[in-house]
Chain A
Amino acid sequence: AQSVTQPDIHITVSEGASLELRCNYSYGATPYLFWYVQSPGQGLQLLLKYFSGDTLVQGIKGFEAEFKRSQSSFNLRKPSVHWSDAAEYFCAVGTTSGTYKYIFGTGTRLKVLA
């Protein structure tokens, strides 16, 4: 079955520390992969996406993610977190066969300590 798992519901890091948000997926074919961020009062914003090619993807706001096919993972990373990064982060898989669909993870809430 197609699924996206974000195993961490909440993560707390100190400002300036590094960050890694985990995402694992289950999908039969090569997926399209996305990370979205949802800040309070704002809509979903696309951070980055992977369709093909280089498995290390650079996104906005200093984020990057690495697609690891062998581990069915697409973890989001940032070397130094800023207080403004506090938000909800959603990993998503875009299906590549038939009608395009999103499969969203349940989200990880990031809290940043000053």
Chain B
Amino acid sequence: EAGVTQSPTHLIKTRGQQATLRCSPISGHTSVYWYQQALGLGLQFLLWYDEGEERNRGNFPPRFSGRQFPNYSSELNVNALELEDSALYLCASSLGFRVFFGQGTRLTVV
């Protein structure tokens, strides 16, 4: 069974551009979580989608947004990129009470 998959693995953007990150949860999982892990910092909760709706949101500005599709895959969009948005973005889905993480997308803003 495939795990949580994220694409792309690496993404380089310039300041002011938009970035789109994608996540496919494990088959059968309806919840998708997005986290940001910046260098030297812990995991910071970004967004939680369940059954196609945004259920919870972390302390991030509105230029961080996303959506969940009918097949439960998800996109994270970051508009007007800033240098400090450079980080590893992790997607996770859950089954029962175990959380499964993807390998992440490394976003570099130059």
A interface vs B, CB < 8 Å?
3-4, 9, 32, 34, 38-40, 43-44, 49, 87-88, 90, 94, 99-107, 109
Question: Is B70 part of the binding interface, using a Cβ–Cβ cutoff of 8 Å?
Answer: no
Q: Report how far A99 CA is from B97 CA in the complex, Å.
A: 11
Known pairs A3-B56, A105-B45 / 19 extra A-B pairs, C-beta < 8 Å? A4-B56, A34-B97, A39-B42, A40-B40, A49-B97, A88-B43, A94-B96, A94-B97, A99-B30, A100-B95, A100-B97, A101-B30, A102-B94, A102-B99, A103-B55, A104-B33, A104-B56, A106-B57, A107-B43
User: Which A residues are in CB contact (< 8 Å) with B40?
Assistant: 40
User: Which B residues are in CB contact (< 8 Å) with A38?
Assistant: 42-43
Q: B59 contacts which of A9, A49, A104 (Cβ < 8 Å)? A: A9
Cβ contact within 8 Å between A102 and B31:
yes
Cβ contact within 8 Å between B43 and A106:
no
Q: B41 contacts which of A40, A102, A106 (Cβ < 8 Å)? A: A40
Q: Report how far A49 CA is from B97 CA in the complex, Å.
A: 10
User: Which A residues are in CB contact (< 8 Å) with B96?
Assistant: 94, 100
Nearest 3 Cβ contacts at the A-B interface: A88-B42, A38-B43, A100-B96
Cβ contact within 8 Å between B45 and A90:
yes
Q: Which secondary structure dominates where chain A touches chain B?
A: strand
What residue of chain A has the Cβ atom nearest to residue B38's Cβ? A40
Distance (whole angstroms) from the CB of A55 to the closest CB of chain B = 19
Cβ contact within 8 Å between A32 and B43:
no
Q: Report how far A40 CA is from B58 CA in the complex, Å.
A: 18
What residue of chain B has the Cβ atom nearest to residue A88's Cβ? B42
User: 24 A-B pairs, CB-CB below 8 angstroms?
Assistant: A4-B56, A38-B42, A38-B43, A40-B41, A40-B42, A44-B99, A49-B97, A88-B42, A88-B43, A94-B96, A100-B96, A101-B30, A101-B31, A101-B94, A102-B31, A102-B94, A103-B48, A103-B55, A103-B56, A104-B56, A106-B57, A106-B58, A107-B43, A107-B44
